[in-house]
Amino acid sequence: MSDRITLTLRSPLERALDADAIAPDRFAGLGSQEISALPLWDGRNSVALGDVFAVNGERSQTVALEGDLTRLNGVGTMMAGGTLEIHGSIGNAVGARMRGGAIRVQGSAGDDAGSAMAGGSLVIAGDARDRVGGALQGASKGMTGGDIIVRGSAGRECGARMRRGILYCTSVGAGAGLGMIAGNIIVSAAIGDGAGVGNKRGTIVALGGIMVPPTYAYACTYRPPHLSLMLLYLRSHYALSLDDAQLHGLFKRYSGDLAEIGKGEILEWQAT
């Protein structure tokens, strides 16, 4: 048993590989030879993990990935526990359908990070491309639990159709919270157009301003008590730079999307 398992890329990937075998909870009971024999997928062809990565360590729920991993997709898919540390940037669908544990990406992530995630935490130090915390193609629900933190900017349609959970980004592209069922999207800077369109019961928190869609109606300006709790939770758990003026500040509440059931909301912080 090792403190951690380190997977070091042997040489840069020429083609994208599907690496949903890499999940720390599944490595907990495996020796290094068994880990090396796990399949990675190049289309319909498989390749042994050990042929792509040098495997150092065994039987641990802490896994580190090293190298240029931007063509490695699906890492941490359905993981239920343990810690996955990605030293650099990662490809698409990192943490897709994960149910527990923690993924820390030191660089940026591709499309579909944390899609359909149900629990645990996914922290991306850099940027994330489109559909963070969104739904798998054709699925009715996006993330249903857990926390996603994108310290940089996120692309289009982040949190689309999300059902539950907390998604924090510094900035987001167009269509954030598209068709959102419930859950929370918190953005500390710019929010692209069309945020919250089709929102049913979800909350979009705009700390840096927002263009409110016409299908939302202003309700009041107040201090949402749950927001103090949520922002304090994010600040203490993820060391986010949220100040007391935001924690306990005034927010404009817009109800919407009134083209839907209208139980969702956009909370826009009023800087004083």
Partner 1 sequence: MEIRGVQIDDTFAEAFGMRGVRIIITAKNEKWARESASKLTGFATSVIACKCEAAVERELTPSETPDGRPGISVLLFTMDSDSLPKRVIERIGQTVLTCPTTACFDGLPDLPDRIAIGKPLRTFGDGFQASKMIGGQRYWRVPVMEGEFLIQETFGKAKGVGGGNFLILAESAEAALDAAEAAVGAMSGMPGVILPFPGGIVRSGSKVGAKKYKGMIASTNDAFAPTLRAIAQTSLPAGVNSVLEIVLDGLDFRSIAKAMQMGIDAACREGVRSITAGNYGGKLGPYHFHLRKIMSGDLDDAPKADAPKPAAAT
Amino acid at 157: E
- Residue placing its CB nearer to partner 1 in the complex, 10 or 237: 237
243 binds partner 1 (CB under 8 A): no
229 binds partner 1 (CB under 8 A): yes
199 binds partner 1 (CB under 8 A): no
165 binds partner 1 (CB under 8 A): yes
Query: Interaction with partner 1 in 117-146: which residues (CB under 8 A)?
Result: 145
Do residues 171 and 151 touch, judged by C-beta distance below 8 A?
A: no
> Shortest gap between Cβ of 219 and partner 1 (angstroms)?
10
255 binds partner 1 (CB under 8 A): no
Q: How many residues does the chain have?
A: 272
C-alpha span between 144 and 162 (Å, rounded): 6
φ/ψ (deg, to 5) at 152: -100, -145
Candidates 31, 106, 228, 238; binder of partner 1 (CB under 8 A) is 228
* Structure tokens belonging to residue 16: 């994208």
C-alpha span between 197 and 174 (Å, rounded): 10
Quick one: which of 166, 158, 134 has its CA closest to 242?
Answer: 166
Of 45-53, 149-157, 164-172, 208-216, the window that binds partner 1 (rule: CB under 8 A) is 164-172
Of 42-50, 64-72, 91-99, 160-168, the window that binds partner 1 (rule: CB under 8 A) is 160-168
The site for partner 1 (CB under 8 A) is made up of 145, 164-166, 184, 201, 203, 220, 222-226, 228-230, 232-233, 237, 244, 247-248, 263
